[in-house]
Amino acid sequence: MTVKRSRIKTLKIDGRDIGAHEDETILEVARENGIYIPSLCQLDGLSLVGSCRLCLVEVENWDKLLPACATYVEEGMVVNTNSDRVRKYRRMILELLFAEGNHVCAVCVSNGNCELQDLAQWLGMDHVRYPHLDPVRKVDMTHERFVIDANRCILCSRCVRVCSEIEGANTWDVFGRGINSRIISDFDTSWGESKTCSSCGKCVNVCPTGAIVEKGKASGEMIKRTEFLPYLTKMREVQA
Ligand code: FES
C-alpha cells in the first residue's frame, strides 16, 4: 500500500519559523503551534466558507488581508497575525457584527457561553462605534424542542453546513442577499412544519451565539457542545 504524504512547507508566523503540510491552512498551522487567530464561521469537521472574516491575517507581498481559515500555506510565506492593521480590521468586523444584530448579552440564553461574546472580551471591545441597526427579525418557536432567533444570528452558516454535511437533512439554507440575508428552514416554512428536520440538535450545538437554542433555557443556561463533530468526522474517515 502506498501512503500519500503531503509535502512540507516552511513559513514564518509572527516571526517564528514553522514547518507545515502543504494541505494545511494558515489557521490550522497557527493553532498547532499555539498561535491564536480568532475565528467564527470555521469549525473543525465542517467545510470552509471564509465568510466571517474574523481570522484575517497579513501575508507579506499581499496588499489585502487574507482569511487564515481559507488560505493554504505556501513555501516562504511570512504571516503576521497580530499587526496594528490586523487588530484594527478585526475589531471593526466584530463591532459591525454587534451593530448589525441584536446582541444583548445580559438577557441572552447563551450569556457566558457565546463565541461572539468571548471574542468581544478577548479583543477588549467595550463599545461599538457604529450605529446599531436594531433589526426586528423573526423568532421561530414552532419547533417542539428548539428556537431560532434571527436577531442573534451572525450568518456564519455553521447550522446550514452541519445539517447538510453531517446530518444529511438539508433543512437549513441562507435566503436573500446582503443585509436581507437570513437562515430559513425548508422552503421558508416555519421550523416546526419542516418535513426534513430530524430534530438531531446538531445545528443548536454548532451555533456560536444564542441564535439557535433549546427551548426553556433561561439567561446564561444554554451550553453548546461541539465535541461530536470531530468525532463523527474522524469515524467517517476511518470507514472510508
Ligand atoms: Fe475565517 Fe470566518 S473563520 S473567515
Residue 101, exposed/middle/buried by CB under 10 A (0-12, 13-18, 19+)? buried
pLDDT of residue 4: 58
Ligand 1 close to Cβ of residue 52 (< 6 A)? yes
Biggest alpha carbon–alpha carbon distance for the chain: 60
Q: Assess whether pLDDT exceeds 90 at residue 226.
A: no
Atom of ligand 1 nearest to the CA of 49: 4
Q: Assess whether pLDDT exceeds 60 at residue 2.
A: no
pLDDT digit string, tens, across residues 141-153: 999 999 999 999 9
**What strands, in cross-sheet order, belong to the sheet with 212-214?**
139-140, 146-149, 212-214
Q: CATH 3.10.20.740 spans which residues of the chain? A: 8-82
Q: What is the pTM of this model?
A: 0.92
Q: What is the mean pLDDT of residues 37-46?
A: 95
Q: Assess whether pLDDT exceeds 80 at residue 235.
A: no
Q: How far is the CA of 77 from the centre of ligand 1 (A)?
A: 19
Pocket test for ligand 1, best of 42, 86, 90 (most atoms within 8 A of CB): 42
Per CATH, is 8-82 categorized as 3.10.20.740? yes
Ligand 1 close to Cβ of residue 41 (< 6 A)? yes
The grid cell for 139 is: 423568532
For 18, phi then psi, to 5°, come to -135, 140
Q: CATH 3.30.70.20 spans which residues of the chain? A: 88-239
Q: Assess whether pLDDT exceeds 60 at residue 109.
A: yes
CA–CA dist 85, 83 (Å, integer): 5
Q: How far is the CA of 216 from the centre of ligand 1 (A)?
A: 31
Helix residue ranges per DSSP H, the chain: 26-32, 84-100, 115-122, 158-161, 202-206, 228-239
Q: Assess whether pLDDT exceeds 70 at residue 55.
A: yes
| Domain at 88-239: CATH code | 3.30.70.20
Q: How far is the CA of 144 from the centre of ligand 1 (A)?
A: 32
Burial 168-205, CB ≥16 within 10 A → b, else e: ebebbbeeeeeeeebbbbbeeeebeebeebeebebbbb
Q: How far is the CA of 107 from the centre of ligand 1 (A)?
A: 27
Q: How far is the CA of 116 from the centre of ligand 1 (A)?
A: 13
Atom of ligand 1 nearest to the CA of 27: 1
Ligand 1 close to Cβ of residue 45 (< 6 A)? no
Percent pLDDT > 70 in the chain is 97
The residue with cell 428548539 is: 146
Range of weakest confidence among 22-36, 78-92, 111-125, 221-235: 221-235
Percent pLDDT > 90 in the chain is 86
Q: Assess whether pLDDT exceeds 60 at residue 1.
A: no
Q: Assess whether pLDDT exceeds 80 at residue 234.
A: no
Q: Assess whether pLDDT exceeds 90 at residue 179.
A: no
Return the amino acid letter for 226.
T
